[in-house]
Structure 1
């Protein structure tokens, strides 16, 4: 094992406790009879960088050292020193992240290629393997997080959601369009009103997806969870968005805080409830740059409609607005993270908006360069074989269409891989490495929660193509 990174084959080190830690204090305990084989495999192996946990049967018979489940388990193994596992009585736990680019590149490329070859069916296995890689790279106190979701439950949830959405869209949206065509003139308002019917489902799917991810996340053997409340979240989201739009964005911090508090206050870690402290006004200082840049850009745009010479001022206001969006995103997360508690547990975040902005800028440039170079090489190859436009025009239409489709798929696949390597993973690592857990002495008093059902997994989010996989 190498210091600060995954194994040479790209697999992050496994959890030092067998089964991911069965007791509330993180020590090994008997297997949970409510878990499935895939869940057990993910916990027993700690989910490596290839997204594969140990085989399910590896969990069923013996403890390391030959002791059976029916006998007393041996003392906890001594963790590898490079994992820096905190002592059980440590009150403060630093969070380490061992994610590196090379193994992630191989995993994302391999699973992405399999997704293309299977016409998208492997997408659910790809997402599962990537999450296991990301989750296991985060080590609060040296003990890795675990993702124990199953790809098959994602696939079944997606198929169920497609059937439900087909009925919903076919009935509700058709009724809305009929009413709008009867009461309004023109088809544009009718189409717009029909889209309104999908918005509540979008928020509903967002909450359900987060509930599933938390239900399949564990640390020290304790499950996370989120109480039911998807329709309540959708109703509040609609209200907050309406207020934000009517006030031209002034109440955006109120919406951010209100929705996060609704979710956090229903989140559980083991048998302990989380609480979102603070108030929405604490986010206002973080919103100043976004508000200033946004309102100034809007004013310049309105003036430029009558004075075209003023349009150049957008070169100063738009970058300010974009920086303000990044600043608000990072600072609002940091402030709300530090206001979260789980009993005596607390969090300290040192996330830096400037660091995240540099990741977006330089990572985005690196990803674009890495994407353009293969395309440039392809163009040079075409020139080398002297394939003129006239010659290409003589090719059958089917050949040209197949070539264009293959090129599009290749570009989309490469961009997806590069986005993980240069954008998603560096930001993930920054948020993890700047996090500290306080009040960790109380971890020994926390107990396990019941295992949640599949909850149709993330079927609605998948069917509506809602992001947030990580």
Structure 2
């Protein structure tokens, strides 16, 4: 009898771990916000890189942490290239709207469609950039496929979702995620996505019914949105495949309730503080003003109130940056940790003998994403 070697039994599922210290992340984003204020926002490229590096390096599977190799300089260059393309489009639209004011409303339609297409292209290419800067066990993730092909699919699926009043959205999410995952790779392992739109719809159909009431009753809206995001995360994670490797998530539907309400609470608190600040600046300016404002020309009025305008602008920028710190702390770091705690990885042995493959992608897509405000992590 010939000897037939037996395959080793599959390893038990592994959990993903996150070891990042919350206080360290808070100091990182707080310091980054202060530098953003000094640099008029240009530090955000380096801050985004530092945030990703913190999240990646503190995320471990089977005892091995991920590595993020992106650089802030790459994001800045990609942003400048993207602006070189987007700014002429803005200027051309402005010229056309001035020359034909009565057609301006119709002229905005192709502009919105163009920017939506650019936005979807940017989402795809930004993900491609992030994947090629993600390394685990010395092997790089990478991505191929066409950003414009993805944008075309996204536009058609979005049109269908609009026509069906949002009911087609789960199928849109499944189709687009399948395209992205089937063009994603870890070394020579090809990705796939097995989530189905019907599965997503079955888990969240009741939220579509509640959503119109939630838009009117504000206290209900955060619960509905948080529930939807939790359902989407669990559905998405459980559909990811890389050859024999698959993820499974047990994220509960109420996992994000506290995070969203904390953000809302901080928003109201910071808004109250800023209102007191703005009122104080206005009162101080009024007490120090000389002539009656009605006796001054517009130029003299603004010249006499330059310090107030500067103080108001700084206060507004500080408010925006403080809100960014809050959102990055709760909706990026804490959400990341919450999601990772729900993940189990099956079939990790399929990644034992992976051959490195794939090239680095440019940061142009990330630049478009930043310029169109569709960037993510």
TM-score (norm 1): 0.69
In structure 1, the partner of 2:294 is: none
How far did 1:131 drift? 1.1
1:441 maps to 349
What is the distance in 1 between the residues matched to 2:341 and 2:332?
14
Corresponding residue for 2:300?
none
Q: CA deviation at 1:204?
A: 0.7
- Answer yes or no: is the 8 Å Cα contact 1:367–1:419 preserved in 2: no
* Residue 157 (1) aligns with residue 67 (2): no
User: Matched residues in 2 for 1:296 and 1:390: separation?
Assistant: 44
Aligned length: 356
Q: Which residue of 2 aligns with 1:326?
A: 226
Contact 1:338 1:347 in 2 (8 A): yes
Displacement of 1:388 in angstroms is 5.2
Q: Which stretch shifts more, 323-332 or 272-281?
A: 323-332
Cα distance in 2 between the residues matched to 1:270 and 1:199: 32
Q: Is the CA contact (8 Å cut-off) linking 1:331 and 1:353 kept in structure 2?
A: yes
Partner of 1:391: 287
CA distance in 1, matches of 2:75, 2:192: 29
Structure with more relative contact order (C-alpha pairs < 8 Å, separation 6 or more):
2
Matched position secondary structure for 2:364: coil
Query: What is residue 250 of structure 2 aligned with on the other side?
Result: 350
Q: Check the 8 A contact 1:253/1:287 in 2, yes or no.
A: no
Who is 2:132 aligned against?
215
Q: Is the 8 A contact 1:95 1:435 kept in 2?
A: yes
Over the aligned positions, Cα root-mean-square deviation in angstroms equals 3.0
Aligned residue for 2:339, secondary structure, equals helix
Q: What is the distance in 2 between the residues matched to 1:360 and 1:326?
A: 7
Structure 1: which 5+ runs fail to align?
Answer: 1-88, 299-313
Q: Relative to 1, partners in 2 of residues 1:409 and 1:366: Cα closer, same or farther, differing over 3 Å?
A: closer
Q: Which structure has greater helix proportion?
A: 2
Residues 373-419 of structure 1, C-alpha deviations (whole Å, 9 max, x = no match): 86588589x69xxx656315449311111111111122222221122
Q: Deviations over 1:16-53 (max 9, x none)?
A: xxxxxxxxxxxxxxxxxxxxxxxxxxxxxxxxxxxxxx
Match of 1:360 among 244, 253, 260: 260
* Preserved contact between residue 214 and residue 226 of structure 1 (Cα < 8 Å): yes
Deviation, structure 1 residue 119: 2.1
Q: Which moved more, 1:143-152 or 1:356-365?
A: 356-365
Give the drift of 1:372: 5.5
Q: Measure the CA separation in 1 of the matches of 2:251 and 2:136.
A: 22
Is contact 2:222–2:261 with CA below 8 Å preserved after alignment? no
Query: Which of 314, 324, 333 lines up with 1:416 in the alignment?
Result: 324
User: In structure 2, the residue corresponding to 1:241 is in which secondary structure?
Assistant: helix
In the alignment, structure 1 residue 99 sits paired with structure 2 residue 20: yes
User: What is the alpha-carbon distance in structure 2 between the residues aligned to residue 167 and residue 389 of structure 1?
Assistant: 40
Secondary structure of the equivalent of 1:449? Answer: coil
